[in-house]
Amino acid sequence: MKLHEYQSKELLARFGVPVPAGEVTDNYDEALKIATALGGNVVVKAQVLMGGRGKAGGVKLFTDPATAADFAKDLIGKRLVSIQNPAGMVVEKVLIAETIDIAKEFYVAVLLDRNIQQNIVMISAEGGVEIEEVAEHNPNAIVKIPINPAWGLCDFELRKAVKDANIPKEAQGQMVVMIKNLVRAYIDADADMVEINPCALTPDGKLIAADAKVAIDDNALFRHKDYEATSSDAAEDPIEAEAVNRGIAYVSLGGDIGIMGNGAGLVMQSLDEISAAGGRPANFLDVGGGAQAERVKSCVELILMDPNIKGILINIFGGITRVDEVAKGVLAAFSEMEVTIPVVARIEGTAVEEGRKILEGSQIIAAPTVQAAAKTIVELAYA
């Protein structure tokens, strides 16, 4: 789950990372109050979960509170579009923060490197721009160090890394301290990314996080109840957001054949079989074990929210889940929704005979194997 900039800064500040004073709001009156209280020299920043807000017109500096508040008002409710996010996102809140005088911009991050299966620290003196650009044009400007899972980072390693990254001498000590605090915040929050870009060096030599991005590992959200409450707002895909509300494991995959199965492994197999049959999976959806009719119905509704869906594959292996329960749920959902696209189901396992009987005579085509089901749905969907 990605946190907004203001949430990220609140979190990091608790761990001693210097951040600019500021407050978040969703209306003009408060914006004016905040900007006035901060003395008028403020930066107004759209709180949307996408990169490149600066270039998209979502970050602007002001020298008086009234024009800052006017801009805040214009920004709230507007859809911001960037190169990274062509569909764009609507601005619901803005952060109003004191403007920092910036002499130099650095990049610093703690993240999970899946290739080496360790957390790492990334440092670069080439901050402010997208790190992907630096990685492409000047990869040597990025220093990466793994964080040992047993003993963490040693001071000498950190000092060397900061030096190797060409962080200027006067900022090196502060950078070492900041990284230690970022790592503590990262571990404590069960994050899989903490990124400061730009990490600003002021003309009087102070290091401060001008921007911040934190992402929390979704599997640890139960330990962070205050973020869990806002996790549906944070989903980038509207169907994924609805899935969070419904407590269903759903991932949008961009194709056009909807997939539903019980158990992550079975769903993944279904995705593979659809691809092997020449189809494009629209989603990952795990109904879960012991799924009851109501829940199955809720899952089918979710799949059908995607306007690109041309067909649905259902792959159920009844163990704890009774196949007749699933069949009832599927029929209930379809009877209320006037579904005109083809639906193929491979059902097997506990109470399969009862399940097949329930589906008999309905629009749902039964298939004997997953491969046969995938082949049939691909043929029907793209006919």
Query: Counting contacts by CB under 6 A, is residue 196 touching ligand GDP?
Result: no
Nearer to Mn ion, 192 or 211 (CB): 211
Query: 256 with 310: CB under 8 angstroms?
Result: yes
Nearer to ligand GDP, 99 or 119 (CB): 99
Q: Determine which helix (DSSP H) or strand (DSSP E) holds 231, and give its type and residue range.
A: helix 231-234
CA contacts within 13 A on the Cβ side of 218: 12
What are the catalytic residues? 107, 195
Query: Counting contacts by CB under 6 A, is residue 124 touching ligand GDP?
Result: no
Query: Counting contacts by CB under 5 A, is residue 211 touching Mn ion?
Result: yes
Residue type for 112, please?
L
Q: To the nearest whole angstrom, how small is the minimum distance from the Cβ of residue 188 to ligand GDP?
A: 24
Is the bond leading into 307 cis (omega within 30 degrees of zero)?
Answer: no
Query: Counting contacts by CB under 6 A, is residue 54 touching ligand GDP?
Result: yes
Query: 9 with 33: CB under 8 angstroms?
Result: no
Query: 318 with 352: CB under 8 angstroms?
Result: yes
Nearer to Mn ion, 211 or 325 (CB): 211
Out of Mn ion, ligand GDP, none, what residue 53 binds, judged by CB under 5 to 8 A for its kind, is ligand GDP
Query: Counting contacts by CB under 5 A, is residue 119 touching Mn ion?
Result: no
Q: To the nearest whole angstrom, how small is the minimum distance from the Cβ of residue 63 to ligand GDP?
A: 12
Applying CB under 6 A, among 53, 224, 297, 346 the residue interacting with ligand GDP is 53
Binding piece for ligand GDP, criterion CB under 6 A, among 47-55, 161-169, 181-189, 359-367: 47-55
Beta strands 283-286; 343-349: pairing state: unpaired
Out of Mn ion, ligand GDP, none, what residue 279 binds, judged by CB under 5 to 8 A for its kind, is none
Is the bond leading into 198 cis (omega within 30 degrees of zero)?
Answer: yes
Residues 297-333 as b/e (b if ≥16 CB within 10 A, e otherwise) read bbbbebbbebeebbbbbbbbbbeebbbbbbbbbbbeb
Applying CB under 6 A, among 128, 146, 152, 168 the residue interacting with ligand GDP is 128
220 is written with which tokens? 């640890």
Query: Counting contacts by CB under 6 A, is residue 168 touching ligand GDP?
Result: no
- From the centroid of its chain, how far is CA 267? 21
Applying CB under 6 A, among 13, 102, 141, 220 the residue interacting with ligand GDP is 102
Nearer to Mn ion, 7 or 197 (CB): 197
Tokens 């270039």 locate to 55
Report residue 65: phi and psi, to 5°.
-65, -35
Nearer to Mn ion, 129 or 268 (CB): 129
Query: 304 with 256: CB under 8 angstroms?
Result: no
Applying CB under 6 A, among 100, 121, 244, 327 the residue interacting with ligand GDP is 100
Distance between CA 43 and CA 22 in Å, rounded? 9
The sign one gets for the Cα dihedral 223, 226, 228, 234 is negative
Query: Counting contacts by CB under 6 A, is residue 43 touching ligand GDP?
Result: yes
How many residues bind ligand GDP (CB under 6 A)? The answer is 16
Q: What are the Cα distances from residue 68, in Å, to 26, 39, 47, 61?
A: 13, 11, 15, 8
Query: Counting contacts by CB under 6 A, is residue 51 touching ligand GDP?
Result: yes
Binding piece for Mn ion, criterion CB under 5 A, among 31-39, 103-111, 182-190, 195-203: 195-203
Binding piece for ligand GDP, criterion CB under 6 A, among 7-15, 96-104, 239-247, 300-308: 96-104
Query: Counting contacts by CB under 6 A, is residue 198 touching ligand GDP?
Result: yes
Q: To the nearest whole angstrom, how small is the minimum distance from the Cβ of residue 316 to Mn ion?
A: 45
Q: Whose CA is closest to 122, among 199, 54, 56?
A: 199
Distance between CA 327 and CA 30 in Å, rounded? 53
Q: To the nearest whole angstrom, how small is the minimum distance from the Cβ of residue 135 to ligand GDP?
A: 16
Which parts of this chain interact with ligand GDP (CB under 6 A)?
43, 45, 51-54, 59, 61, 99-100, 102, 128, 197-198, 210-211
Which parts of this chain interact with Mn ion (CB under 5 A)?
197, 211
